[in-house]
Amino acid sequence: MSRVLRAAFCFCLAGLAGCGGEDRAAPEHPVVLIGFDGLEWSVAGPLIRAGRMPHLKALIERGVAGALDPQRESLSPVIWTTIATGKHKKDHGIVDFLTPGPKKIPFTSEARQGKALWNIASDYGLKSLVVGWWITWPAEAIDGWMVAPYSSLGQNDFNWKGNMSRDIEGQTWPPELFQEVWPIAEEVAAPKNLARLGGELFGAVDIDSLGAMEKMLVTQTLWSVAADETYLRALLHLLGRKDGRPDLTLFYDGGTDVSGHRFWRYHEPERFAYEVTPDEIARFGEVIHRFYEQADQYLGQALAAAPAGANVIVCSDHGFHADFTEKLPQFGFSGHHLDGPPGVIVLAGPAFRQGVGGDVVLSGTGQPARIGSVYDVAPLLLYLLDIPAGRDMQSPDGGNLLRLAVRPEQLESRPHEFIRSHDVGFRPAKMPTEVSGEATEDFMEVLRRLGYLGGAGE
């Protein structure tokens, strides 16, 4: 049965929750989507040209590079859900970090309206591996494996990104996978490993000698780094399993966003009205660059472990810029993205054109062209998996991204196909589960500090 006929059959069975089965052949070329939150061309470009991001450079040289339009309100849980669903926030239901109304609870996967890529792939008998992605807790039952963060749990020193906790269910699918990956989190959080991470990202800075604000920035950031490393190691471990390759892999890393929020004034001190001293620049002027280098190292490790012959997409949800430029806020944040500067997108693999857009990045002669939007990513991935797009997606034909990135001869030989919707029979959305009121309040305090909520951050 063709994928299109199968989709039509599924649509008719409106009472069923899904349409999985064993009769689907795996795609010839698996798909790998790696998301780096807040990755910004103005930082990445010079580092690529200086040879400090060799893995991203190699993808650019053999593929397509450009800028990716974010949504108008560039909030991470909203955009990463849009990337995974192809839908506007009013359609997928994840409209912010917290639910609206007087009782605010962090959004969870339970509140998402409609299927994400991993649900759709499961309906077509394809295996997915999803690690660290926003708004995936509680982990959903899929054909494959999921390691799902919950972003108000374990907010060690106010880490607003998700991390793992020993004391909560639903962090993995299948559930027993938790016992397999939890030792990774313990190993990463060991003092010796945290010291190693601190040395790689902050150099020879003596944390104990720092002032209160700078010490806070460093120690809080290290917990975010530990979460990122935990999910990377989990990804590598699961890619090395022998029980079936994933047809679709999604991995999220948040370090480039965290470092941008906390260390932008040292990266671009001339943009700020208040003084950033030479000593401060000497200590922290390279921190954002080191986070980008780390992201590139993670990219290289992920690609080395990924299935052979994969079509690879690297993207960010938005770019970054200086913020709070007139007066340093109480908690030291100096970079932001609320006005939604463009993100990064790089595509390489058998399905994609070669040498498109990369000359601008590699030569530094201009700004990368906008070649698509966050709404185009999910339809593109479905096309690569030979699955029709839902016409209820915001950009079901993949927009400019599919037309500019995919080889013309492939589009001609296999045009994109469509069904009305993939969401027939999907479970109803419901209010998110709240783990504890204390965890929620901790998370809200982080958002206040970042300037997402009224209060100290503004």
Any long-range contacts for 171-174 (C-beta under 8 Å, 24+ apart)? 171/137, 171/138, 171/139, 171/147, 172/139, 172/145, 172/146, 172/147, 172/148, 173/139, 173/140, 173/141, 173/142, 173/144, 173/145, 173/146, 173/148, 174/145
Q: 457 lies in a domain?
A: no
For residue 207, report the phi and psi dihedrals to the nearest 5 degrees: -60, -40
User: How confident is residue 8, by pLDDT bands cut at 50, 70 and 90?
Assistant: very low
- Name the residue type at position 24: R
Average pLDDT of the segment spanning 286-307 = 98
193 CB neighbour count, 10 Å cutoff? 14
pLDDT in tens, 351-380: 999 999 999 999 999 999 999 999 999 999
Confidence class of residue 163 from pLDDT cuts 50, 70 and 90? confident
Domain membership of residue 318 (yes or no) is yes
For range 137-148, the mean pLDDT:
97
Does residue 456 form part of some domain? no
> Domain tally for the chain?
1
Instruction: Give tens-digit pLDDT for 238-293.
Output: 999 988 899 999 999 999 999 999 999 999 999 999 999 999 999 999 999 999 99
Confidence of residue 24 (pLDDT cuts 50, 70, 90): low
Q: What is the pLDDT of residue 263?
A: 96
Candidates 301, 342, 302; CA nearest to 321 is: 342
In a domain, 191, yes or no: yes
Using 50, 70 and 90 to split pLDDT, how confident is the model at 383? very high
pLDDT at residue 53 in the model: 98
Q: Which has the higher per-residue pLDDT, 25 or 437? A: 25
Range of weakest confidence among 96-100, 397-401, 445-449: 445-449
| 442 confidence band (pLDDT: 50, 70, 90) | low
Q: Is the pLDDT of residue 55 over 90?
A: yes
Residue 59 counted as domain residue:
yes
**Average pLDDT of the chain?**
88
- Residue 161 — pLDDT band, cuts 50, 70, 90? low
Predicted pLDDT at 393: 98
Residue 455 forms part of a structural domain? no
- Structural domain containing residue 200: 3-450
pLDDT of residue 371: 97
Higher pLDDT, 25 or 427: 427
Instruction: Indicate the range of 34-48, 109-123, 258-272, 334-348 predicted with least confidence.
Output: 334-348
Q: What percent of the chain has pLDDT over 90?
A: 69
Residue-level pLDDT at 147: 97
Q: What percent of the chain has pLDDT over 70?
A: 86
Q: Is 403 inside a domain boundary?
A: yes
| Distance (Å, whole) CA 320 – CA 39 | 7
Q: Using pLDDT thresholds of 50, 70 and 90, give the confidence band for residue 67.
A: very high
Closest CA to 388 of 400, 378, 373, 403: 378
User: What CATH code is carried by the domain that includes residue 25?
Assistant: 3.40.720.10
What residues are paired with 32 via a beta bridge? 249, 312
pLDDT, residue 222, reads 86
Residue 390 lies inside a defined structural domain of this protein: yes
Structure tokens at 235: 């990804």
